[in-house]
Amino acid sequence: MPNSHPMAKLKNKLSVILDVVPQGSNIIYVDYPVYNNGGDVLIMKGTEAFFKDNGIHVRARYSAMDIPDQLHIPGDCIIVCHGGGNFGDLYLNHQNLRERIVRDFPNHRIVIMPQTIHFQSEQKANEVAALFNGHPDLHMFVRDTRSYQWAKDKLNQCNITLCPDMAHQLWPLKPTTETVKDVLYFLRTDIETVGGQKKFDDEAHAAHRLDWDTLFTPLEVKGIVYFQKFYRLNKKIGGPLPTRTFWYKYTDHLMNKAVTLFSSYREVRTSRLHGHILACLLDMPHMVIDNSYGKNSQYYNTWTQPNPKARLFNDAPEELEQPS
């Protein structure tokens, strides 16, 4: 039966969100992505599908680029913050926006969609904990057991729930082209890359090695940059331009391109969490390689290990395996 598939079960687990964002709720969706990280775009597509499938009414949407400095939110609206892997001190633009929302709206329910948590600074972690614990109606979903334990310890006045990534709402995705190639290496090239990936960097042929920033052509990346300029202009002039409508259509194109790329390969080897999740959604064989702080292995061990078509290359980044 279709509902017995491990990925169908993960999709069903997202219903826990309805405990704090009930069907029919009025919400404001904050911090949706306007940049070239296809993983966050995949999360956004899953989040919007979840809203639609559950009759949740999105009264306004704001990215980090166009959210007004003076924001009024009706009292009956729940503030829902985009999920992902940017809760912590690696991506401060998004973290600072979440903190601003918590600080500015003490009388609204605030819900943070499934996140991975990672702080390098204990001082910053304690500052965030003090702020979040002071909010009377803050609910946070986390994507792995390590983040869950951190949040239960530090954010002990908040409502913390373990939940899969929002992209699972898209299950199942259908392949969009014939499988004609062997192995795709979808490997990180950013600050989360780790030494354990080197084996795959060395064996990957350049023609079959991609990341989000190389999947999209220079012209497509230029299009994203232009959208960012329009978003900033829209904020400056007060928001009359339909930037979000056109951006969402553009992201449909970007996601279709990612699905077509993956569909054309027999197997994927990836150090991108959403390379792993996209392969799961397409029900295709793939290998998961860890990132710099264990996000991918944590996610695999928490949620996707039952999927027979996914396998983990390593339980932890290479440097974490060295004897102390």
Q: What is the CATH number of the domain that holds 56?
A: 3.40.50
228 vs 199, residue with greater confidence: 228
User: Above 80 in pLDDT, residue 66?
Assistant: yes
69, 154: one domain = yes
Per-residue pLDDT at 322: 35
- Domain coverage including residue 20: 6-170
Which phi and psi angles does 78 have, rounded to 5°? -90, 135
Which of 111, 140, 170 is at the close of a domain? 170
Once rounded to an integer, what is the mean pLDDT over residues 181-193? 90
Number of compact structural domains in the chain: 2
**pLDDT level of residue 189 (50, 70, 90 thresholds):** confident
**Given its phi and psi angles, is residue 24 left (phi above 0), alpha (psi -120 to 50 degrees) or beta?**
left
Q: Residues 36, 319, 146, 91: what is their CA dihedral angle, to the nearest 10 degrees? A: -30
160, 113: one domain = yes
What is the model's pTM?
0.92
254, 157: one domain = no
140, 72: one domain = yes
- Residue 217 located in a structural domain: yes
Which of 170, 195, 211 is at the close of a domain? 170
154, 273: one domain = no
**pLDDT level of residue 314 (50, 70, 90 thresholds):** low
Dihedral sign for Cα atoms in the order 270, 276, 278, 280: positive
38, 165: one domain = yes
Using an 8 Å Cβ cutoff, are 30 and 108 in contact?
Answer: no
Strands 138-142 and 159-162: parallel
At 7-37, the pLDDT tens digits run 999 999 999 999 999 999 999 999 999 998 8
- Residue 257 located in a structural domain: yes
User: Above 90 in pLDDT, residue 1?
Assistant: no
208, 146: one domain = no
- Residue 76 located in a structural domain: yes
Q: Side by side, which strands form the sheet with 265-270? A: 209-210, 181-186, 265-270, 286-288, 310-312
* Residue where the block lists tokens 């979440």: 98
**pLDDT level of residue 239 (50, 70, 90 thresholds):** confident
User: Above 80 in pLDDT, residue 282?
Assistant: yes
Q: Which token pair is 274?
A: 């959403």
**pLDDT level of residue 203 (50, 70, 90 thresholds):** confident
- Residue 320 located in a structural domain: no
- Residue 292 located in a structural domain: yes
- Residue 81 located in a structural domain: yes
89, 204: one domain = no
Which of 135, 150, 170 is at the close of a domain? 170
- Residue 323 located in a structural domain: no
* Residue where the block lists tokens 């404001």: 28
Which phi and psi angles does 186 have, rounded to 5°? -105, 90
**pLDDT level of residue 3 (50, 70, 90 thresholds):** low
CA distance 121 to 142: 19
User: Above 70 in pLDDT, residue 317?
Assistant: no
